[in-house]
Chains A and B, each alone.
Chain A
Amino acid sequence: MLTLQLLINGILLGGLYGIMALGMSLIWGVMNIVNIAHGALIMLGAYLTFWTFTLWGWDPFAALPLTILILFVYGYLLQRLVLNLVVRAQLFLTLLITFGVEVVMVNLARMFWSADLRQVTPAYAGANFSVGGLTIPYVRLWVFVTTVILSVSFLLLLERTRLGRAIRATSEELRAARLTGIPVTHIYAVTFGLGAALAGAAGGLWGMLFPITPIMGGALTLKSFVVAVLGGLGTMMGAIVGGLVLGLAESFSATYLGPTYPNAISFGLVVLILILRPAGILGRRS
């Protein structure tokens, strides 16, 4: 029974990790930028939801579209105006500049919202229901359902639309994409915007389950990276599977090993995967 409960907890959390990693994997796969500011984008999404909730009394789920829109615009501008200038530089410089963006965002957040722990607690926050001895909190269930809806619509966007085809083409062969008339600078910015929007959505949902602080992003960047690598880079389904794996690993390890090593667990997991299956769980061998 305990095993089943842990399984459910892990899967419910895994969905959230999945959409975090989806955003990171997209930006990485298309532009070859590992976005260290990804966690900071999640943090921004969380604070936006916190604001609409405390200032205007919006339901956190209802605030998601607004958060997604703001983060999309923010990500679009960030890529177009700043990151685009170094997008072809060596890895170290792109890593470093996103690191700089992270530091700036975290410290601005510290000034705006102070370092206090914040929480988004709608009236139904503590409610749960039981099925055959298993306890399922409503919030976690709805968060999971939302992540499934977001992932599916994102995958459809990427696979079925003209924009999605343009993104995939740019990712595969920059020069050829440009020759066929795809505005690659715009596509890069849209891609970053989509990645940021997913991060923002993840943040908005995260805030309902866990406390929000300006420095929450660091560990989440690490987790997003781990999940993206676990599933296999560039495969969008891989990010989702990786999310579930990490969710399950954390859920079981917290019970059997104690809750004090969450990052060590995810880090150990990724080292293991890099050694055993360098291409990731769903990745193709190159």
Chain B
Amino acid sequence: MRRIAPALVGLAVVVLVGAAPAVLSPFLVQFLINLFMLAVLAESWNIIGGFTGYASFGNVAFFGVGAYTTGVLLTRTALPFGLALTAGGALAMLFAAVIGMPILRLKGHYFAIATLGVAETMREVVYNLEVTGAGTGLVMPISRSPLPFFYVMLGLLVAATLVNWWLSASRFGYGLVAIREDEDAAAAMGIDTARYKTVAFALSGAFAGLTGGVFAYWITFIDPDAVFRVITTIQMIIMAVFGGMGTVLGPLLGAVVLASVSELLSTQLVALAELFNGFIIILVVLFMPRGLVDVLATRPFSLRRFADNVRAYRI
């Protein structure tokens, strides 16, 4: 029963959201597609950053690989979107696995900056390649209805959430958490840490790549600066952290709250929305580093918890 009840609630929510475009304005449908995209990215970052504890600051690289693979296949070949998208996800996964093998050996700061470097390098590579349209970008064929994007993104979100749920309750997931808590101890327990980390990174990359592929076709025009944006990485990290790293629903919750506030602010001024992201990062780190899920789950709820969090790490 304890497993069936959440599954039923989840299913009901998905059906309800799935029926929503019938009554929503086109603007709200577009907003929801964007929200789903950010939520998938947050959930995918959660696999490597939340469960495994490897703070990747460059997951936008996989998003970009997916977007560009799908984009190039759509514009230069007659491949249908489904196949192009699959290729995008697969290549992003492969790229994450290959790049992961050397850089997952780095730890802490070195790993974080290396991933930042990977993203920056990919942007430069795409800038210089002929096939990706270099600096001028790619224009996709235009699709008339936003509904396919809505359902594909929703499908990705469901899949990403299910994978996170699986991680929270499986041998593989426990292995990742063991690596996060103490990598040497995990290795001593017989966990093949290199393989576990690489698979987690590839899984994270696959979802980011698929999202990128849908993004490319949905947005119809991609160029290196629009795809490899640092702010995209910031968003996925902050949504996961705001909701609660290493939890199943935290990143989703974070995406819903922050994307809504961002949207409201960016109707005023785009820089204002990004500024808000920055302040949220600082405030979350100071006041609730374990995320919203932790705050909501602790009873009785009290403001002292925030004060305790601030006092925890100072000297």
Q: Which residues of A contact B (CB under 8 A)?
A: 28, 34, 82, 84-89, 91-93, 95-97, 99-108, 110-111, 174, 184-185, 188, 218-219, 222, 225-226, 229, 260-264, 267-268, 270-271, 274-275
Residue of A nearest to B107 (CB): A91
Q: Which of B66-74, B114-122, B140-148, B152-160 contacts A (4 or more CB under 8 A)?
A: B114-122
Determine whether the beta carbon of A92 is less than 8 Å from that of B55. yes
Q: How far is the CB of A11 from chain B (nearest CB, A)?
A: 24
Kindly provide the distance from the CB of A84 to the nearest chain B CB, expressed in whole angstroms. Answer: 6
B57 contacts A185, CB within 8 Å?
Answer: no
| Contact present for B117 and A263 (CB under 8 Å) | yes
A-B contacts besides A219-B120, A263-B117, 5 pairs, CB < 8 Å? A89-B312, A92-B53, A97-B285, A222-B120, A261-B128
Taking a contact as CB atoms under 8 Å apart, the answer to whether A218 and B120 are in contact is: yes
- Partner pick for B315 among A103, A107, A188, A261, CB 8 A cutoff: A188
Say whether B106 contacts A91, CB under 8 Å: no
- Chain B residue, CB-CB nearest to A28: B109
A99 to B55: give the CA distance in the assembly, Å: 12
Are A103 and B55 in contact (CB-based, < 8 A)?
no
B65 to chain A, nearest CB (A): 15
Query: Are B289 and A93 in contact (CB-based, < 8 A)?
Result: yes
Which residues of chain B are near A104, meaning CB under 8 Å? 275, 278-279, 282
B46-60: CB near A (< 8 Å → 1, else 0) gives 000100010101000
Q: Is B237 an interface residue (CB 8 A)?
A: yes
Please give, as numbers and ranges, the residues of chain A lying within 8 Å of B271 by CB-CB distance.
107, 110-111
Q: Which of B108, B237, B278, B315 is close to A91, meaning CB atoms less than 8 Å apart?
A: B108
B281 part of interface (Cβ distance < 8 Å): yes
Residues of B within 8 A of A267 (CB): 114, 117-118, 120-121
Q: Counting CB contacts under 8 A, is B14 at the interface?
A: no
Task: Please name all residues of chain B whose beta carbon is closer than 8 Å to the beta carbon of A92 when the two chains form the complex.
Answer: 49, 53, 55, 112
Chain B residues with CB below 8 A from A262, complex form: 124
Check: B31 CB closer than 8 A to any chain A CB: no
Query: Which B285-314 residues have a C-beta within 8 angstroms of A?
Result: 285-286, 289, 310, 312-314
Task: Note all chain B residues with C-beta closer than 8 A to A229.
Answer: 110
Query: Which chain A positions have C-beta within 8 A of B234?
Result: 99, 103
Interface residues of B in 24-72 (CB under 8 A from A): 49, 53, 55, 57
In the assembled complex, which residues on chain B have CB atoms less than 8 Å from the CB atom of A85?
286, 310, 313-314
Taking CB atoms, residues of chain B closer than 8 Å to A271 are 102-103, 114, 117
Q: How far is the CB of A199 from chain B (nearest CB, A)?
A: 17
Q: How far is the CA of A40 from the CA of B107 in the complex (A)?
A: 24
Total number of residue pairs linking A and B with CB closer than 8 Å: 129
In the complex the two chains form, is B117's CB within 8 Å of A100's CB?
A: no
Give chain B interface residues in 238-296, CB to chain A under 8 Å: 241, 271-272, 274-275, 277-282, 285-286, 289
The CA-CA distance from A275 to B101 in the complex, in Å, is 13
Given A100-B279, A104-B275, the answer on whether A34 and B117 have CB atoms closer than 8 Å is no
Q: Which residue of B lies closest to A263 (CB)?
A: B120
**In the bound complex, CA of A34 to CA of B107 (Å):** 13
Q: Is B191 an interface residue (CB 8 A)?
A: no
- A100–B276 CA distance with the chains assembled, in angstroms: 10
How distant is B210 from chain A, measured CB to nearest CB, in Å? 26
Residues of A close to B277: CB separation below 8 A: 103
A152 to B274, CA, bound (A): 39
Bound together, the chains give a CA A260 to CA B121 distance in angstroms of 11
The CA of A86 and the CA of B312, in the complex, are separated in Å by: 8
Q: How far is the CA of A78 from the CA of B245 in the complex (A)?
A: 26
Which chain A residues lie closer than 8 Å to B102 at the CB level? 271, 275
Instruction: Enumerate chain B residues within 8 angstroms of A89, measured Cβ to Cβ.
Output: 285, 289, 312-313
Q: Enumerate chain A residues within 8 angstroms of B55, measured Cβ to Cβ.
A: 91-92, 95-96
Across-interface contacts of B313 in A (CB, < 8 A): 85-89, 93
Q: In the complex the two chains form, is B314's CB within 8 Å of A86's CB?
A: yes
